């Protein structure tokens, strides 16, 4: 299974199989799929992985944060219990809290179909900007797309927070009208939040060969 998904993008491989099967007869199918690497072992392996790693996003989130923290933290900085799963425990509002910083990690690689990711990254930015603990607020992302969105989009905060009623209330209470553009908020009331591209900060962990700006060999991908 590793070889099947490693050789080329999965969407490309599946599209090739679809084209191969177009117009085939019953007697042709077995040979076509076998030549493309489709087998009962592949199916069983995929089912096993899905069953064991159904929460693969949690694994990616936990591994990414855990590997990044030793390089991001400063000497003497003290980490509180982090929220490593992909979703915060209500008692731990941020992915990472130390005696010096609060931080959120967004470890999805944007692909151009990112409406939900845009909403999520804005929600995190709002909560970090509203933090009153006096610690440094930081938002870590993968690649330039999330940063470009936050800094340049003309979309209104009302759109970005339309599925987060509690965050909408927080925004209005702390920052004013939801008619403000997301970029105006990012570059204004939210400008004290550090926006950090992990591909640039820790390329040996996060830079991928599929990234448009990649210049290093792939060392892992979320």
pLDDT of 218 reads: 35
Query: 161: domain range?
Result: 56-206
* pLDDT tens track, the chain, 222 positions: 777 777 788 888 888 998 998 988 888 998 999 998 888 888 888 888 888 777 788 888 999 999 999 999 999 999 998 998 766 567 889 999 999 999 999 999 999 999 999 999 999 999 999 999 999 999 999 999 999 999 999 999 999 999 999 999 999 999 999 999 999 999 999 999 999 999 999 999 998 755 444 433 333 333
Residue 222 lies in a domain: no
Taking the alpha carbons at both ends of the chain, their separation in whole angstroms is: 19
Say yes or no: 31 and 66 in one domain: no
Say yes or no: 12 and 75 in one domain: no
Say yes or no: 12 and 66 in one domain: no
pTM above 0.85, yes or no: no
Say yes or no: 111 and 134 in one domain: yes
Say yes or no: 87 and 113 in one domain: yes
Say yes or no: 77 and 182 in one domain: yes
Sign of the torsion angle spanned by Cα atoms 216, 217, 219, 221:
positive
Say yes or no: 130 and 161 in one domain: yes
Say yes or no: 73 and 133 in one domain: yes
Residue 218 lies in a domain: no
Residue whose tokens read 């060392």: 219
- Nearest-angstrom CA–CA distance, 50 and 47: 5
């Amino acid at each position: 299974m590793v070889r099947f998904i490693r050789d080329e993008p999965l969407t490309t491989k599946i599209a090739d199989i679809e084209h191969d099967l177009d117009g085939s007869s019953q007697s042709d199918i077995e040979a076509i799929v076998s030549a493309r690497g489709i087998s009962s072992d592949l199916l069983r392996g995929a089912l096993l992985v899905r069953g064991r790693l159904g929460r693969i996003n949690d694994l990616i989130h936990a591994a990414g944060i855990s590997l990044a923290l030793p390089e991001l933290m400063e000497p003497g900085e003290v980490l509180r219990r982090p929220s490593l799963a992909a979703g915060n425990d209500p008692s731990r509002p941020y992915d990472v809290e130390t005696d010096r910083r609060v931080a959120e990690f967004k470890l999805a690689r944007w692909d151009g179909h990112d409406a939900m990711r845009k909403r999520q990254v804005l929600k995190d930015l709002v909560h970090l900007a509203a933090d009153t603990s006096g610690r440094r607020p930081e938002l870590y992302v993968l690649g330039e797309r999330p940063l470009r969105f936050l800094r340049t989009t003309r979309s209104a905060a009302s759109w970005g927070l339309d599925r987060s009623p509690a965050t909408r209330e927080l925004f209005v209470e702390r920052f004013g009208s939801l008619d403000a553009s997301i970029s105006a908020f990012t570059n204004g009331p939210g400008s004290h939040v550090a926006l950090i591209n992990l591909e640039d900060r820790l390329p040996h962990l996060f830079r991928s060969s599929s990234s448009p700006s990649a210049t290093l060999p792939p060392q892992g991908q979320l």
